[in-house]
A and B are shown apart, each in its own frame.
Chain A
Amino acid sequence: MSDALSEDGSDINQDDSQEEVMTPAELIAKLEEAWLNEKFSPELLENRSEVVECVMEQLTHMEANLQRVKKGDAKAGFHRMEIDRIRFVLSSYLRSRLQKIEKFFPHVLEREKSRGEGQPSLLSPEEFAFAKEYYANTETYLRAVALKRMPPNLQAVDMLKAVPEPCLDSFVFLRVKEQQENILIEPETDEQRDFVVDLEEGSQHLMRYRTIAPLVSSGAVQLI
């Protein structure tokens, strides 16, 4: 990794919110995995706010180091580019999530509400607040402009039925990180029958998202 990071290598390892200790390279690799998964998945994935927080800390460290570098030093350019790249990946990751939250807002809120105790949360607290505000804002607008002027029995709109759900049957490309045995592929049409495949480590496939959704959240496959 870059010089700017190695000076602070000891600091990030003492991050309390994480159970394991990560090098900066591993952290950025984790961010990129989360980013690609979120980009290519049709539905919103579990939130990785611990990764986001660590990366933000990293960026602050790097910017601080950059201030200390002599003006006109060639290395400054490389560090600047690296900061820009990491910031782009982080922004793109958060944008993907926000776009999916806005697109599927009633379903996302419903999933979060019906999540069981002890299950990891889908939305960070800030994303949850944003989703609720978006829902309230849109509902207030529709009511004020049209719904309240409609006949009494038509003044409510069921958002869960009105807003389309994410299409979990869309196809995604994936690379297998951990060997998987006996994955059941359900038939798409009545003429087909279901069958079972084994996923070899390192192989790449094109499959329906619904079949491998649990493998994405466990980290066994990576969407590409």
Chain B
Amino acid sequence: MSMFDQRVPRLCWPEAVSRFVSYRKVNGTALGSVQNPLMVRFRFCVFQEDGVRQVLQEMEALYEQNQADVNEAKSVGRADLIPSIKLRHCCLLRNQRCVVAYLYDRLLRIRALRWEYGSVLPANIRFHMSAEEVQWFGQYKKSLASFMRSIGGEEGLDITQDMKPPKSLYIQVRCLKDHGEFEIDDGTVILLKKNSQHFLPRWKCEQLIRQGVLEHVMS
């Protein structure tokens, strides 16, 4: 079974890990998330700094106990210590697996934010990310941007657009919040005021629909 598999075997339940696994469930069931619909959709919560730290501290304690026992077993020849050494080692491996699975799962959700939302994340989502996660996100979007720029050899192609097959050229949209002025291809400028409706080219609206500024009105 791979480490990033969500189904971690119930081999042993050191206390910090059992508390920590419940933090993971919190991450998964959107408890404690802000009432931001994007957050609820992604089930993304605050980074559990405490949980991770407790597990790492427990790992340190287990390792030290093991070191002591290994030395004693070797010097005095106490073979009866070996089963408890093995048990602690299994706990250590499981802790490592839990922590890495939690961190990796969060990275996957953050990656999804780039594709769904765009390259600039709103402040309340960034607040839920640790500094290292923000750094990972920055590096990821840089890699993605240079990949997209290199497509086809000229200006590249923005593959985060065109997420759905095009059904019609122009669509009716309603503005959900004030967004100011918006320029379309032939130069005309539209004022996006809350609750106003417009008939706009579909490809210009995609990004704004995903961000929640516009809403596609289907008659």
| B181 at interface, CB cutoff 8 A | no
Contact A91 B159 (CB under 8 A): yes
Interface status of B161 (Cβ within 8 A of chain A): yes
Q: Does residue B176 face the partner (Cβ distance < 8 Å to A)? A: no
Complex contact B166–A142 (CB within 8 A): no
Flag whether A127 is at the interface (Cβ < 8 A): yes
Q: Which listed segment binds B: A36-44, A145-153, A174-182?
A: A145-153
Q: Are A145 and B130 in contact (CB under 8 A)?
A: yes
Cross-interface CB contact of B169 among A77, A134, A146, cutoff 8 Å: A77
Q: How far is the CA of A91 from the CA of B161 in the complex (A)?
A: 8
**Cβ-defined contact, B100 with A142, below 8 A:** yes
Are B154 and A60 in touch, CB under 8 angstroms? yes
* Interfacial chain A residues near B46, Cβ < 8 Å: none
Interface positions, chain B 74-115, Cβ under 8 Å from A, are 92-93, 96, 99-100, 103-104, 107, 111
Q: Is the CB of B96 within 8 A of A154?
A: yes
Measured between beta carbons, the chain B residues less than 8 angstroms from A133 are 139, 143
How many chain B residues touch A (Cβ–Cβ < 8 Å)?
A: 46
A56 near B60: Cβ-Cβ < 8 Å: no
Question: A interface vs B, CB < 8 Å?
Answer: 52-53, 55-57, 60, 71, 77, 80-81, 84-85, 87-88, 90-92, 94-95, 98, 102, 126-127, 129-130, 133-134, 137-138, 141-142, 144-147, 149-151, 154, 157, 161-165
Given contacts A56-B153, A80-B169, A162-B4, 16 further A-B pairs with CB under 8 A are: A52-B152, A56-B151, A85-B165, A91-B161, A91-B163, A129-B146, A130-B143, A137-B140, A145-B103, A146-B52, A146-B99, A154-B93, A157-B96, A163-B4, A164-B2, A164-B5
Q: List 7 A-B contacts (CB under 8 A).
A: A56-B151, A94-B159, A126-B147, A130-B147, A141-B135, A142-B104, A151-B63
